[in-house]
Amino acid sequence: MKIIKVLLAGVSLAFLASTSQAATSGKTLATVDPEADRLALQSHFQRRFPQVALSDYVNGIYALDAPSREQWQDIEDFPPYEFDIEEGEILFNKTFANGKSYADCFTNGGIGVRQNFPRWDDSQGKIVTLELAINQCREANGEKALGWKKGKIAQISAYMAYTSRDNVFDLKIPNNGAKAAYLDGKQTFYTRRGQLNMSCANCHVAGAYIKIRADLPGPALGHVTHFPVFRSKWGNLGTLQRRYGGCQKNVRGVPQKTQGDKLRNLEFFQTYMSNGLVANGPGARK
């Protein structure tokens, strides 16, 4: 009896090893090809929705669904994030106690730079999101860091996004460090998690524009260009990292750390997928 048990375990392990060799292309640092990934994602959506222009994907589900597009356009007449942009501008221009300001931390004084984030920072050896850059600027100038998910950081981010509208995303992957971060984000995006065992891709690639309860998930292409977002459900403005936490909780998984390595890499991957599309934040969504 004991021999049979051990054999069974051994056989299944060997079987496991051989089948996992089958799909390795694109999952290792040596084989991953970000440009090929990006183009593959674009053609996936173009095949499903031949009538939709690539540039329209920055509007998310409203690029695919006419009835909700109509409602959204009405809302955009008087966007709910308008006051946040005004507040954000005031906060952005306010000098720190030491006399410096955000303009000193960013190229072009922080105006029209949204499309450069997230970026690989070699000296730090990690991906830097816009909100991380904002807080690093604060701390470098003796100010306390802001909360990551909503409130002031979202308003500053909204103002910076607003000044960058229509600028094209063109994120770079300059070296293996950046590539590894990209790959890590790619893996997170396609990995099933939580008690409901779902991945981002389940809802936003295969499941885009397919009803999940009463909602239609938006497509992964152009997913992140409009952040920060005024979400009707929140009744206020929130960052992309805030939404990540909510989504992970939706599949009954304990969310990964806000602005931690995993979620910053995920944001990098998602934004790279939107290269070629324009920044159009802040946005309004259901």
Partner 1 sequence: MKKTISLVAALMMVSGGVAAHPFNDAFNEQRAMYGKGHSFTWNGQTYLTDHPEEVAAAAEANATNATALLAAAKDQYAQVLAVDFGWTLTKGLLKSAGKALEAGKFQDSMNLSAQAQYHSRMGLVQYEQSQAEWIMAVPQ
Partner 2 sequence: MAKGILRAKAKAKGGNTVVKIMAKHAMETGNRKDKSGEKIPAKYIQTLSVVHKGKMVMESNMGSATSKNPYMAFTFVGGAKGDELQMTWTENTGSTATETAKIK
Residue numbers at the binding site for partner 2 (CB under 8 A) = 77-78, 80, 82-83, 235
**CA pair distance 274, 268, nearest whole angstrom:** 10
Q: Applying CB under 8 A, which of residues 100, 150, 262, 286 lies at the interface with partner 1?
A: 262
Enter the tokens of residue 257: 């750390």
Give me the active site residues, please.
247
Rounded CA-CA distance 24/26 in Å is 6
Residue type, position 44, single letter: H
Site for partner 1 in 151-180 (CB under 8 A): none
Specify the residue, 4 or 97, whose C-beta has the smaller distance to partner 1: 4
Among the candidate windows 4-12, 69-77, 226-234, 235-243, which touches partner 1 by CB under 8 A? 4-12
Q: Shortest approach of partner 2 to residue 283 CB, angstroms?
A: 17
Q: Which stretch binds partner 1 (CB under 8 A): 84-92, 119-127, 158-166, 252-260?
A: 252-260
Site track for partner 1 across 177-216, x = CB under 8 A? ---------xx--xxxxxx-x-x-xx--xx----------
- Matching residue, tokens 């206020």: 236
DSSP for residue 254? P
Q: Are 118 and 53 in contact (CB under 8 A)?
A: no
Among 3, 19, 51, 74, binds partner 1 (CB under 8 A): 19
Q: Nearer to partner 2 by C-beta: 216 or 237?
A: 237
Within 30-89, the residues that bind partner 1 by CB under 8 A are 37, 40-41, 43-44
Largest CA-CA distance found in the chain, in angstroms, rounded: 78
Cis peptide before 174 (omega within 30 of 0): no
CA distance linking residue 122 with residue 88, whole number of Å: 29
- Reduced to 3 states (helix: H, G, I; strand: E, B; else coil), residue 128 is strand
Residue 12 binds partner 1, judged by CB under 8 A: yes
271 binds partner 1 (CB under 8 A): no
Report the DSSP beta bridge partners of residue 278: 168
Q: Are 275 and 170 in contact (CB under 8 A)?
A: yes
Neighbours of 12 (CB within 10 A): 10
C-alpha span between 162 and 207 (Å, rounded): 30
Please state, as a whole number, how many other Cβ atoms lie within 10 Å of the Cβ of residue 75: 15
**Closer to partner 2 at the Cβ: 82 or 104?**
82
Q: Looking at beta carbons only, is 64 or 279 nearer to partner 1?
A: 64
Residue whose token pair is 């910076």:
160
155 touches, from partner 1, partner 2, none (C-beta below 5 to 8 Å by class): none
Q: How far is the CB of 235 from partner 2 (least distance, A)?
A: 8
Q: From CA 191, how far away is CA 175, in angstroms rounded?
A: 24
- Interface positions with partner 1 (CB under 8 A): 1, 4-5, 8-9, 12-13, 15-17, 19-20, 22-27, 37, 40-41, 43-44, 186-187, 190-195, 197, 199, 201-202, 205-206, 249, 252-254, 256, 262
